[in-house]
A and B are shown apart, each in its own frame.
Chain A
C-alpha cells in the first residue's frame, strides 16, 4: 500500500492549477515584501530570530540592502512568472523573499507567523520547477506548456503538508503552553478587546458571550490539531478547509491589522475544492511532451 501511495505521487496533471497557485503565492509574497515598514530602535535580541541572525548587525540594519533585496525579489519573481531562466529565478525568488522578510523581522520588535506559509509554498513550487525542469522546458519549447501533463501530485501533496503541519504546530503550541483549557473563551475576548477592530461584526460576535467565544476557540483548536488528516482523503481535506477558512474569515474581520489573510488565501486555495473547480485531474499515464493526456475517465482528483 505504501508503494502504491508513493507511486501515485508521480502521477501528472495539466499545470493550470500549479500555475495559478504560483501567481497567487507570488502576489501574496509581493504584498508582504513591499509593505511599508519602520525600523525599530533599541537593544538587539541576542537570540536567533531568523536564519540570518548570525550576520553582522551592520548588514542586518542596512536599509539600502533591504531595498536591493526587495528589488531583486521583484525581478526574479517576474522572471519566474514568465518562466525565464527557471529554476534559478524560482530559487532567487524564494531566497530574496526569505531574506527580505528576515531583514524586516531583524529590525522589528515583533514577529508575525503570517508569512511562513507563503515562504514554504514558494519553496515547494520552486522544487517543482527544479525537479521537473527538463519536461517543463521541453513543453515550453514546443509551445505546449498548458496542455502537457507537467504538475506532479507530490507538489499538491507537499503544499497540503506544509499548510497542515503549520496548523498542527499551532495547535501543539497552544496545548503545550496552556493545556486543554486554552479554549476557555476569556483569552479570545481579551485579545479581541485589545487588538480587535472595535465595532466590526467579527469583534462584536466574539465579545457577545464567553460561551460562544469558547466554542469558537475550542473548535479552532480541534481543527488545528487535526489538520494533518486532510492528507488522508479529499472529503477530510474539504472539512478541514471549510473549518479553517471560516475561522480565518472571522479572524480577518475581527483582527484586520494582524494580516491573517496571508494564511487564509493558501488555506482556501489548497484545502477548498479549487482543485476540482480548476479541473485538476491526475493521470498515471504519461504521454510525450506536447501530447495531450489525462482524459476525464483516466484521471482522478488531487487526493494525496
Chain B
C-alpha cells in the first residue's frame, strides 16, 4: 500500500469514528496515546493524589488550624447563654464597651482560635455571664487605671437565655459605680 492512498488516509484521520476500531484496538489499550495511559505517568499522578489526600487529612488533625488547613471549628462550641454590656458615664452618655473591657469578642470561633493579633482583653466571654461582685470588681479595676478620666460609670447588662421554646432577655443594672472608700 502506497503512502497517501485512500486506505492510509482513512487510518490517519478517521479511525476513531469506526466501530471496528472501538471494539478492537481501544479495548486492548494499544491505541491509548500520549502519556496519559502509561503506567509511569499514572503512577506519578496517583502518588501526587495520594500525597494531597494524606496532607489534607493529617495536617488538620495534627497541627489544627494553621491556614490553609483547618478543622473547621466555627460554631463548634454550644452555649446556653451570653450577655452584652452597655456602659454610660455620669451624664448618661454612652461609652465604648471596649474601653471598659466588657466587649464580646465573638466571631463564631472558640476563644483559642484567633488571628495573628490577639483580641483585646475582656471580662465578657461568649457562653458565660459574669455577675454581681465580679462585675463591680472589674469596674473598680477599670476606674483605677491611670488613663481613666471617669470617677463614676453606670452599666446595664442584658442576659440572653432560653426559657421554654424561645430566647428571652433579662437585665442587671450597675448604676453609679464609683471607687469604694
| Chain A residues packing against B (C-beta within 8 Å) | 6, 9-10, 12, 40-45, 48-51, 53, 60, 98, 101-102, 105-113, 115-116, 119-120, 123-124, 127, 131-132, 134-135, 138, 152, 154, 158, 161-162, 165-167, 169-170, 172-174, 176-178, 181-182, 184, 186-187, 189-191, 193-195, 207, 209-211, 258, 285-289, 291-293, 298
Contact = CB atoms under 8 A, between A and B. Distances in A.
B79 A187 contact: yes
Contacts of B45: 10, 131, 152, 154
Contacts, number: 214
Residue with the highest number of chain A CB atoms closer than 10 Å, among B34, B36, B46, B80: B36
Given A106-B115, A158-B49, A113 B63 contact: no
Contacts of A165: 56-57
B166 interface: yes
B167 interface: yes
Interface of B: 16, 22, 26, 31-37, 42, 44-46, 48-49, 52-53, 56-57, 60, 63, 65-82, 104-110, 113-120, 126, 160, 162, 164-167
A258 B78 CA distance: 18
Contact of B116 (A45, A120, A191): A45
A109 B118 CA distance: 5
Contacts of A286: 32-34, 36-37
A290 to B, nearest CB: 10
Nearest to B42: A10
Contacts of A116: 67-70, 72
B117 A101 contact: no
B162 A194 contact: no
Given A161-B56, A166-B70, A169-B72, 12 more contacts: A111-B115, A113-B70, A165-B57, A173-B71, A173-B76, A174-B75, A187-B77, A189-B162, A190-B81, A190-B167, A258-B108, A289-B34
A73 to B, nearest CB: 14
For the complex of A and B, 3 pairs with smallest distance between CB atoms: A106-B116, A170-B72, A108-B115
B10 to A, nearest CB: 14
B68 A45 contact: no
B60 to A, nearest CB: 6
Contact of B117 (A108, A113, A161, A193): A108
A101 B119 contact: no
Given A10-B42, A123-B52, A45 B78 contact: no
A41 B104 CA distance: 17
Contacts of B116: 44-45, 49-50, 53, 60, 105-108
Given A6-B46, A10-B36, A132-B36, A49 B115 contact: yes
Given A169-B60, A190-B82, A191-B75, A110 B115 contact: yes
Nearest to B80: A186
B36 A40 contact: no
Contacts of A124: 52
B159 to A, nearest CB: 11
Contact of B36 (A113, A127, A135): A135
Residue with the highest number of chain B CB atoms closer than 10 Å, among A98, A110, A178: A110
A153 B88 CA distance: 62
A53 B66 contact: yes
A49 B37 CA distance: 41
Contacts of A42: 117-120
A181 B37 contact: no
Given A51-B66, A210-B166, A174 B53 contact: no
B114 A194 contact: no
Nearest to B119: A109
24 contacts: A9-B49, A10-B37, A10-B42, A41-B117, A45-B118, A49-B67, A50-B67, A111-B109, A111-B114, A113-B70, A116-B69, A119-B67, A120-B68, A152-B45, A166-B70, A169-B71, A170-B73, A182-B76, A182-B78, A210-B162, A210-B167, A258-B108, A286-B37, A289-B33
